[in-house]
Amino acid sequence: MNAVSDAPLLDPDIDVDELGAHLRSLAYRMLGSPGEADRVVAEAWQRRQGAAPGSVLDERTWLSIVVARLSLQRLRSPVHDHAPAPDDEAVAVPLSEPQEPVDPFQEADAAALREAVDPDLLAALERLAPAERVAFVLHDLYDWHFEDVAGALGRTPVAARELAIRGRCAVQAGSDDEAAGAAAGARARQLDVVRAFVEAARGDDPAAMAAPLHPEVRLRADGAAIGLGAEAIVEGAPAVAAHLAEHVADLRPALLDGYAAAVWREDQAERMVVGFTVEDRLVLEIDLVADPGILPLLDLAPLDPRA
């Protein structure tokens, strides 16, 4: 099955068979199933067919991002079966070897897909949260720049890097228990830092808000957040703390991809998500995400106040 081979592309020089194989291999590594990969690629192509004229300037990049976002949604779906189907078994490349960028010419059918992925790698990928899995696959297996990974996930490059690093650590862990222990420790450390920041914000205390921030912390806001009054970029702990205290001090704790975050609500609706990238117990970057097209992609959950 090739979801793109029977439809015209804007660029006549594109090899549609190669493009279809690339998209399927990309989806397969994120989903672990040739069948699900086919469905995601077919849906991506349907969206491409419905795109407004002139809105797609680069077929390969546009379709790859759509496949990544659809795969992320499918991974987060409660009906998604993360275990490969019996006919989706994979064989072959030792996980200890460096993962080279995929050659899509070698992956035009399901058999080639199965032969190209180590079953140990697929098993390790099952340890990852959906956003970690997508970030790891795009960056470590496909050599996407973090800027491009960020675009697919609706995050900033620093946040995308953090997700990929978490994914890499879990994949390299020797066992599920080891991976779970490392992730739990990272979440606990991040939770302590973010909780202190959110409590200070709710107490309208800019000085206390600045305490857990790295001196060179950077705040970035998407276009929708800017429309709500945020600045596009704010740098430095005092300036970031003062800016958030002025615009979104009434933060509510939440979990974003299993890690501590915050939300800002207005009229009983979530209008903005505040994500935190933490390194060495300091907040290195803060993302303000309010784009209504991105918010549904985010894996948000209430934060248990007892956590």
Give residue-wise pLDDT tens across range 196-254. 898 888 888 888 999 999 999 999 888 889 998 899 999 999 999 999 888 776 788 88
Per-residue pLDDT at 107: 39
Burial class (CB in 10 A: 0-12, 13-18, 19+), 12: exposed
Percentage of the chain exceeding pLDDT 70: 75
Q: Mean pLDDT across the chain, nearest whole number? A: 76
Rounded Cα distance between 44 and 70, Å, is 8
Residue owning tokens 């099955």: 1
Domains in the chain, ordered, with CATH? 16-172 (1.20.140), 184-302 (3.10.450.50)
pLDDT tens column, 56-82: 778 888 899 999 999 988 888 765 554
Residue 179: per-residue pLDDT: 55
| pLDDT for 235 | 95
Model confidence pLDDT, tens digit, residues 240-254: 999 988 877 678 888
Per-residue CA distances from 217 to 202, 211, 223, 236 (Å):
20, 11, 20, 5
Q: How far apart are CA 235 and CA 250, in angstroms?
A: 21
Stretch among 126-140, 255-269, 293-307 having the lowest mean pLDDT: 293-307
Of 226, 224, 220, the C-alpha closest to 275 is 220
Instruction: Please say if the pLDDT value at position 281 is more than 90.
Output: no
Q: Is the pLDDT of residue 87 over 60?
A: no
The mean-pLDDT minimum among 1-15, 157-171, 246-260, 291-305 falls in: 1-15
Distance, in Å, from the CA atom of 15 to the CA atom of 4, rounded to the nearest integer, reads: 10
Contact 164, 146 (CB under 8 A): yes
pTM of the complete model beyond 0.95: no
pLDDT of residue 88 exceeding 60, the answer is no
